[in-house]
Amino acid sequence: MSGCIGRSALVLCLLVLVAPVLVQSNQATNVVLMAVGRSGTTLAEHLLSVALPNLFLVDEPFRGVEQHVVSLVKSGNAERANATITKVYHDIFSCNFLTPDSWTRSVISDVHNCQMSSWTRKQKDVIQRCATKTATQTDLDTGMKLCQSAETIILKTIRFRGEFARLPKFSSQLKIVHLLRHPFKVARSRFVAGWHFHLKSSPDDLQLVQSSAPFNVWPAELQRLASVFLYVLNFVCRQMLETHHVLQSVTHHDVLEIKYESLLAEPSEVLSQLTTFINNGKPLPASSISRVVDRMSDKLMQLPTSTSFKKLVDCVSPFEWLALAGTHCRRMGTLGYKANPESKTFR
């Protein structure tokens, strides 16, 4: 049993004040691809990058400003925090973040963002200059042309999801795609990926684990890890429900919710639905969808669970984990993930 050890990580998502009206300069269809972390957004953006050739993608721009925004909120400056988020949002969709003196580009340019975003064109030397904040004028001019000529601009984020839903409508072409995934699999994926939760849990979670079968007969170290996983699971369920409920109230943006499980099981159908939504009701030819799915077939296979965490997972079924979890997880039927006690599953 000592091998049942996992690592964890947690990314905070803050909901702050409503942003002012924005003004957009280009005519592209603007898309916010949002989800809680480890829900499959990277797979979705890979598929869309192949399916929509004239697409400009900006990946995780808020990674670089998250701590700044968090500190502003904690110090009582929620309005300034909101203005920071709004500026990044506006600069990207107007392509202004590629101007030579762009504050937004300077704060969002980390290695991950530079590797994934379209303006670096997957070129190692440009990625390096982007990450070290030494991009040349040619780099920026080329990136600006790509952004301004794009038919679709996608901003992918797992941070500050509620702000986009709450922003006033500043463009008739703004769309929101919310990607959902089974909360147990999200929590498990965070452990497998090594996200650092600093082994955080609550005394209530630990007490619940210590008093509930089969956890009550586990060694103390495994009970502690189980309480950490339970904390993460509850956090994921709460995040998913909060984002879903915010989007349910949105009337001024087009919203589409899709499931990661459906994308894996029926990639052609879901990709067709997704691209039709982005293309304002114009479907891609079935032959084009098939070519994308065939090309990306290796990425549509689920990654295996790591050995160390699999030992912990195998000790208890997903249904038992979710049955032990709090009220947010018990309400996941709202999102179509319903408990099936007979088969010990939650799907």
Tell me, what's the pLDDT at 283? 94
The answer to whether residues 175 and 257 touch, using CB atoms and an 8 Å cutoff, is: no
Query: Rounded mean pLDDT of the chain?
Result: 81
Tell me, what DSSP letter sits at residue 14?
-
The answer to whether residues 6 and 229 touch, using CB atoms and an 8 Å cutoff, is: yes
The 10s digit of each residue's pLDDT in 296-334 is 887 776 544 444 555 565 567 777 777 788 777 878 888
Low-confidence ranges of the chain (pLDDT < 50): 1-25, 303-307, 341-346
How far is it, in rounded angstroms, from Cα 284 to Cα 278?
11
How far is it, in rounded angstroms, from Cα 59 to Cα 50?
16
Place of tokens 């079924």: 317
**How many whole angstroms from its chain centre is CA 14?**
14
Sequence-separated (6 or more) residues with CB below 8 Å from residue 226: 209, 215, 218, 312, 316
Tell me, what's the pLDDT at 297? 83
The answer to whether residues 65 and 22 touch, using CB atoms and an 8 Å cutoff, is: no
Sequence-separated (6 or more) residues with CB below 8 Å from residue 20: 86, 168
The answer to whether residues 319 and 339 touch, using CB atoms and an 8 Å cutoff, is: yes
How far is it, in rounded angstroms, from Cα 206 to Cα 228?
8
pTM of the predicted structure, to 2 decimals: 0.84
How far is it, in rounded angstroms, from Cα 31 to Cα 336?
24
Report the candidate in 195, 192, 247, 241 with the shortest Cα–Cα distance to residue 33. 247
DSSP track, 29-96: EEEEEE-STTSSHHHHHHHHHHH-TTEEEEE-GGGTTHHHHHHHHHTT-HHHHHHHHHHHHHHHHTTG
Q: CA neighbours within 13 Å on the CB side: how many for 196?
A: 1
Q: How far is CA 154 from CA 24, 49, 75, in A?
A: 15, 10, 32
How far is it, in rounded angstroms, from Cα 144 to Cα 34?
24
45 phi/psi in degrees, rounded to 5: -70, -35
Report the candidate in 29, 18, 36 with the shortest Cα–Cα distance to residue 280. 29
Place of tokens 């452990």: 191
Two tokens, residue 86: 């709004």
